[in-house]
Amino acid sequence: MEPDALVARARTLLEIGRPAEAEAEARAAVGSDPANPAAHLVLSRAYSKQKRHAEAIGAAQAAVALAPELAEAHLALVGALLGDGPSDDAVRAALVAVRLAPHDWATHHALGWALFELGSPWEKEARDAAERANALAPSVPGTYGLLGLTLAACGRAREGRKVVREGLRIDPDDAHLHNNLAAIDLNHGVRLGRAARHLRTAAQVAPQDEVIHHNLDALVVRFATSLAWPTLLALVVLRVQVDDVVAWSARATTGAALVGALVLMTAWFGRQVPRGHTPWRSGSSGRMLLAATVTAGLVLYLALLAMVTAFGPPGWAGASAEHIGTAVRYGLGALLIGGLVRRTPPRGRR
């Protein structure tokens, strides 16, 4: 088969989500015509889809070496480099792409993403690149997603949400836009319910997307952290009740109120996220899994202590009440541990 036909087949296989087969076709194209930059480009993308970032970078660099004036080759290199994390090299490659194709929205979009991934102090430059991409391609939904994220990063979260919603008016089922809107909500203190609705929609459209699952995990940990607040309040009330030697019925009423609150909150949240999703089942990163495990464990400990103090006989209640001061400190620690997620924050999607 001719190399161009093999490249075309590889591209089609990538579009339908079969990267391993696309890799085989691209390898055959490279073997048949090693000087064909298009073959190296599609091979790089096949590697990227399989999270083989070093090989993706190598294939993209080969394409750049063969066609240094081809903006698409530099764009492929940007994508491969960003797959391995924020990168100054990705910014440099994107700048070359912009120089080669200044009127192509994709080059400005790539530059915006590369700068956005670097974070502080490049937020304004990322926003400027995102604005240029959006101005060049106002009908492309993805340009609204990046622009919204960069506006939020510049402290203009409300404006960022509005921009992403404009993109959703173009394509209401765009999973990346729903994910990015949820990321803005989670990173800027909006109620969990709204972020959950967008992530649920994103997960329905793209159920295997790792970034969406990362953000769902962040949402779960934020919710688990929120359970600590009513539990801590109940523990403080119970400690006062034990010290004042109130009747068992008063303690039981406090415990029942806590149980009711936790049940209602958990039932509500369970309806907001995809059924069965937890960080322990989704292949979370180590830091996210640590945050989820420690937060859930501490909240469970606080709730059990509250139950013993509320419903136990006077001897048990008195003994458990002695630990409430320490438990409250642990509870505050749970809230801080939940903050670990902010070091692995909800992520935008290219």
Task: Assess if residue 18 is contained within a domain.
Answer: no
Please state, in angstroms and as integers, the Cα–Cα distance from residue 254 to each residue in 42, 257, 267, following that order. Answer: 63, 5, 20
Domain extent at residue 328: 224-343
pLDDT number for residue 344: 45
Are 336 and 228 found together in one domain? yes
Looking at the structure of the chain, the number of domains it has is 2
Please state, in angstroms and as integers, the Cα–Cα distance from residue 183 to each residue in 137, 203, 209, 223, following that order. Answer: 23, 13, 14, 15
Task: Assess if residue 320 is contained within a domain.
Answer: yes
Are 202 and 235 found together in one domain? no
Are 245 and 334 found together in one domain? yes
- Name the phi and psi angles at 67, rounded to 5: -140, 70
Are 236 and 290 found together in one domain? yes
Q: Residue 179's domain is classified under what CATH number?
A: 1.25.40.10
Instruction: Report pTM.
Output: 0.82
* DSSP label at residue 275: T
pLDDT number for residue 236: 86
pLDDT number for residue 283: 60
Task: Assess if residue 292 is contained within a domain.
Answer: yes
Q: Which of 235, 341, 220, 244 is nearest to 286 (CA)?
A: 341
- Among 155, 182, 208, which residue terminates a domain? 208
Are 326 and 258 found together in one domain? yes
Task: Assess if residue 4 is contained within a domain.
Answer: no
For the chain (350 residues), the mean pLDDT of every run of 10, in chain order, is 87 92 94 93 94 95 96 96 92 97 97 94 95 97 95 94 96 94 85 88 88 86 86 88 84 94 92 76 68 81 88 76 72 60 50
